[in-house]
Amino acid sequence: MKQFFLVGILLLAAALSLEAQIGAPELEEASDFARRAAKAAISGPGRIFAEALDIDGMLARRLGQTTWQGLTDRQRDQLRALVRDHFLQTLASPRGEPADLTWTSAAISPTRNGVDVLIGLQFGPRRLKTRWEVQGTGGSWRVADVILSDPGISLADASLGALGPEPVRRRERRREAERVAYPRLAALGTIALLLAIITPRIERGKRKLLWLTAAAPAALFAIDGTLAVRRTLSEAYAVAPTASREPWRDAEQRALQAEREEHWAQARDLWARAIAAGGAAGPIHYQLGLRARERGDLVKARADFARALSAHPPAPGAAKELATLDAAEQKFELAQQELERYIALAGADPDALTLLAVLKTNLGKSAAGVAAVQQARDLVGDEAWRGAELEAQVRARAGDAAGAVAALRRLEADGRLNRAALRSDAAYLPIANDPAWVAFINEKPPAPASRVTPSKRGVASDK
């Protein structure tokens, strides 16, 4: 009993120590660091983002500290480049597409000694919610992982998984040195044999030229062999020359191609093969649910979202999508439960909070609804027009065309309403055919106010 009591005291002391180490100033410092790293990831320079990543820590956990320390500098640089490139390829903005950070929220990590920073990224019309796991190391901060919040994809796990099942293996140095030496020795022997056969058959005056000609390839084989043997004997481990392709990637690529060609049944079969081959079930079913919803097949969308949530680990975004589907059917109580589950899994964001405000208001919880809207606006900052835009998009996803139009009217007064952009914004697809939305989107924009200059006929100027 005394042992359990001592363990409890130690755990409490550790928790209190963590609270003491990370206070409000540290939270703000970690949040600023994550924002700078995210900005470098989406817009460059990539070097700054790579320096912010704790790539060595990721690789040491994947390979084991002993193996990681046993690699040469050249081998460590090779693995670092593979991990760095995977992060950059995932987060970097497509060339020519504008990218920006739209909101940030930070909290002490419940699972590790660090800070979780939620960051909203904007790539043109596309939005991406991310969680940056930031840890303090040696008086500075480092990014331990970046999570794509809605599909639940860890970029650290994905980049390390791309290295293959055996990215590093221990070498049998003597045997491998023999293997790399034998071909070079055979080539040298062949050159010597040819010289022995040809030399007696040519004139003495031309033999020196023959030997000089043969000396060049012989020297190359000798130098190359010596370096290869030395490198093999000096390296305790061998590193795979390139990242291995996960076995499920081929099925994934074929599934995406089938979707582009609108062969939906074939695409589903290929996605199933990708999961069977080791692909993460949660993110795959989440993407399938999104595509089914875009096609208007809500039955399949719900089924895929349910599978995405029951996977291990789950895709949190599926809970938010189920909430929007239920909100559109006026199942407000169920939608609120699903949305609160999403916030518990992935953290709060302006979209989710605004939808939560709508749901609570519809359930008669007006004070809670006002609080949720205020929290959403606190995330996006003082620019109230962003809050209005978010509210309009979430109301649209909930099927509330009249509410979306009312929110957008506030933007019109500030001259920030762009109907052409609204027509192509996927957030408003659920209300695209609603009469209230159609009438609003087809309205002729009001003419901008202009100053009236005095005329010779005595018209008063607008002062």
pLDDT digits (tens, 9 = 90+) for 31-83: 899 999 999 998 888 889 989 999 999 999 888 888 888 888 888 888 888 88
Cα-Cα-Cα-Cα dihedral sign, residues 13, 15, 18, 22: negative
Residues 280-336 pLDDT 10s: 888 989 988 998 888 888 999 999 999 999 998 899 999 999 999 999 888 999 999
> CA-based Rg of the chain, rounded to a whole angstrom?
31
The two tokens of residue 442 are 């087809």
Query: Which residues are 130's β-sheet partners?
Result: 119, 148
What ranges make up the beta strands (E) of 124-170? 126-137, 140-148, 153-154, 168-170
Lowest mean per-residue pLDDT among 138-142, 318-322, 454-458: 454-458
Does residue 178 or residue 29 have the better pLDDT? 29
Cα(60)–Cα(62) distance, rounded to whole angstroms?
5
Query: Domain holding 327: CATH number?
Result: 1.25.40
Same domain, 31 and 99: yes
Q: Tell me the two tokens of residue 111.
A: 């699972």
Structural domain harbouring 43: 2-169
DSSP letters, 356-412, are HHHHHHHTT-HHHHHHHHHHHHHHH-S-HHHHHHHHHHHHHHTT-HHHHHHHHHHHH
244 part of a folded domain = no
Whether 242 maps to a domain, the answer reads no
Q: In what order do the strands lie in the sheet with 114-123?
A: 99-108, 114-123, 126-137, 140-148, 153-154
Lowest mean pLDDT among 148-157, 180-189, 258-267: 180-189
Strand partners, 118: 105, 131
Query: Hey, what are 280's tokens?
Result: 């993460």
**Do 160 and 194 fall into the same domain?**
no
CA 177 remoteness from chain centre? 41
Element (H, E) at 68: helix 65-70
Are residues 85 and 34 part of one domain? Answer: yes
Q: Phi and psi at residue 54, in whole multiples of 5°?
A: -90, 65
Secondary structure letter of residue 113 according to DSSP: S
Does 40 fall in a domain?
yes
Helix axes 317-328, 298-310, angle to 10 degrees: 150
Q: Write out the two tokens for 165.
A: 């099942």
Torsion of Cα atoms, 256 then 260 then 261 then 266, to 10°: 30
pLDDT band at 11 (very low <50, low <70, confident <90, very high): very low
- Mean pLDDT score, 440-461: 55
Average pLDDT over residues 108-120: 84
pLDDT for residue 217 is more than 90 = no
Assess contact for 320 and 342: CB atoms under 8 A: yes
> In this structure, is residue 271 part of a structural domain?
no
Contact 401, 436 (CB under 8 A): yes
Q: In this structure, are 136 and 202 located in the same domain?
A: no
Do 143 and 29 belong to one domain? Answer: yes
Do 17 and 143 share a structural domain? yes
Domain boundary among 153, 169, 185: 169
- Looking at the structure, tell me whether residues 163 and 185 fall in a common domain: no
d(CA 3, CA 335): 45
329 occurs within a structural domain? yes
Quick: pLDDT tens for 235-273. Answer: 667 777 665 556 677 777 788 788 777 787 888 888 888
Same domain, 162 and 211: no
Region 140-161: what's the mean pLDDT?
A: 90
Q: Which two tokens stand for residue 65?
A: 């500290």
Q: How many angstroms separate the CA atoms of 292 and 259, rounded?
A: 11
Report CA 206 to chain centroid distance, whole Å.
67
* CATH classification of the domain holding 35: 3.10.450
Dig out the tokens for 296 from the structure.
């208007």
With bands split at pLDDT 50, 70 and 90, how would you rate the model's confidence at 93?
A: confident
Answer with the one of 234, 252, 272 that is the final residue of a domain.
234
Structural domains in the chain (count): 3
How far apart, in whole angstroms, are the C-alpha atoms of residue 80 and residue 138? Answer: 20
> Beta strands 153-154 and 140-148: pairing type?
antiparallel
* Residue 206 in domain: yes
Residue 143 contacts by C-beta under 8 Å, 6 or more apart in sequence?
34, 37, 52, 53, 54, 132, 133, 134
Is 418 domain-assigned?
yes
Place of tokens 């003495």: 204
* Same domain? 109 vs 218: no
Q: Looking at the domain assignment, is residue 133 inside a domain?
A: yes
Token pair recorded at residue 40: 């470098």
Per-residue confidence (pLDDT) for residue 147, from 0 to 100:
92
